Amino acid sequence: MKRALALVITSCFALGCGSSSDGEPTPASPDAAPPDDAAPPAADDPTICATAHVSVADVIPTVQLLVDRSGTMDRDFGAVSRWEAVRDTLMTDAGLVSQLQERVRFGLSTYTADAGTPCPLLHTVEPALGNLAAMDALYAGLDPLDETPTAEAIDAIRIQLAALAIPGPKAIVLATDGEPDTCAVPDPDGLPEARAAAVAAAQAAHEAGIDLYVISVGDEIAASHLQQMANAGAGLPIDGAAAAPYYRALDADDLVGAFAAVVDAARSCSVDLDAAIDPTIAAAGSVTLDGAPLVFGVDWRLSDQDTIEILGEACQLVRAGGDHAIDAEFTCPAS
């Protein structure tokens, strides 16, 4: 996810190099001023093509869990129902929310529809730290009901999350066991129009700055639809060569791994840059974490022209929390 950290950077391409027009880059956190030796290069230094300094405070992602409450969630999933398996995965003492609720801002929404009820029928706990008790109380009071209006549910949650003025990346984790339908046409499931609407909703979420991840609880959703949903939620062409990961859980143990993977992805080490870097100078750049040099291709990479991705143990250190400093300097290619 590209909104995990904020990095202030000045850069130029091979055709011309210069310093930032307003001097020293601004730290990401107003409480973390750059050290005295972090002054920008002299304006007449032709060797410096880009510089950066950022103080990275603990970045807390917001993850809204969107759980299908359709009637088929009552089906057996090993020793428990699909509905119960989701609760066990998330909210037991060893569950994902229990373990990460102080490092991830979790929220919960369930969705369905039934004759005589609003569509989509949503029950929601807004995201917050330490949210386990409220989420578990909501989930425990509900049972699977009827329909699967996936597009309308995603749209509603997108609007709710976009309205929250909270820092850090935002994501929706969709857990569903069936093909989508719509409020207008609740049956049968999986019509092309319903699939297209769900994909469009995932695209709209990504365009609003909210990535969407999809978990199939069982094997009843077509792989082609899951792939399109995953690509749409990641901002990729839905039928392109690139394939975003989706998750198919065939039993309760698989479900644990699927939820863990998508929440880990939400705690990304990708860094947005406010300017593009010429890829030809990336390998010669200097990037440090807390003063320790990072190795290009091992500890960091340029994932596209305006994104640095911290890798491996360096990424694990950033994800573990606390305050960290990332510095970068790029020299211009020889003329």
What does the pLDDT read at residue 30? 38
Among all chains, which residue has been given the structure tokens 């901002």? 235
- Residue 32 inside a domain? The answer is no
Single-letter code of the amino acid located at 154: I
Based on the fold, state whether residues 193 and 291 are members of the same structural domain.
Answer: no
At residue 4, the pLDDT reads 39
What does the alpha-carbon distance between residue 225 and residue 299 come to, in Å, rounded to a whole number? 35
DSSP letters, 199-259, are HHHHHHHHHTTEEEEEEEESS-S-HHHHHHHHHHHHTS-TTSS-----EEE-SHHHHHHHH
Which residue, 261, 267, 212, is CA-closest to 236? 212
Both 191 and 255 in a single domain?
yes
266, two tokens: 């939400």
**β-sheet bridge partners, residue 270:** 309
In a domain, 42, yes or no: no
**Domain finish residue from 211, 242, 266:** 266
Per-residue exposure over 120-147, b if at least 16 CB sit within 10 Å of its own CB, e if not: bbbebbbbeeebbeebbeebeeeebbbb
Give CA–CA dist 285/55, Å, rounded. Answer: 19
Co-location of 68 and 217 in the same domain: yes
Give the structural domain span for 249: 62-266
Give the burial class of 307: count Cβ atoms within 10 A of its Cβ; 0-12 exposed, 13-18 middle, 19 or more buried: middle
Bridge partners for 107 per DSSP: 64
pLDDT score recorded for residue 124: 98
Instruction: Examine residue 37 and state whether it is found in any structural domain, yes or no.
Output: no
Closest CA to 69 of 172, 160, 148, 180: 148
Do 227 and 309 lie in a common domain?
no
Task: Give the domain CATH number at 197.
Answer: 3.40.50.410
Whether 79 and 2 share a structural domain? no
- pLDDT in single tens digits along all 335 residues of the chain: 433 343 433 333 232 333 333 333 333 333 444 444 444 444 345 455 566 666 666 568 899 999 999 999 999 998 899 999 999 999 999 899 998 898 889 999 999 999 888 999 999 999 999 999 999 999 999 999 999 999 999 999 999 999 999 877 899 999 999 999 999 999 887 899 999 999 999 999 999 999 999 999 999 999 999 999 999 999 999 999 999 999 999 988 899 989 988 887 777 677 766 667 788 888 888 889 999 999 999 999 988 777 788 899 998 888 776 788 888 777 766 65
Instruction: Look at residues 204, 245, 193 and name the one whose alpha carbon lies nearest to residue 223.
Output: 245
- In whole angstroms, what is the distance from residue 85 CA to residue 57 CA? 35
How many separate domains does the chain show? 2
Closest to 3 measured CA to CA, from 61, 47, 46: 61
For residue range 191-249, list pLDDT tens digits in order. 999 999 999 999 999 999 999 999 999 999 999 999 999 999 999 999 999 999 999 99
| CA 243 – CA 85 distance, rounded (Å) | 28
Does one domain contain both 153 and 294? no
Helices (H), the chain: 82-91, 96-100, 132-140, 150-162, 192-207, 223-234, 252-266, 312-319
My answer on whether 113 and 233 are in the same domain is yes
Regarding whether 223 and 123 lie in a shared domain, the answer is: yes
Residue 148: name the closest of 28, 239, 66 by CA: 66
244 with 323, same domain? no
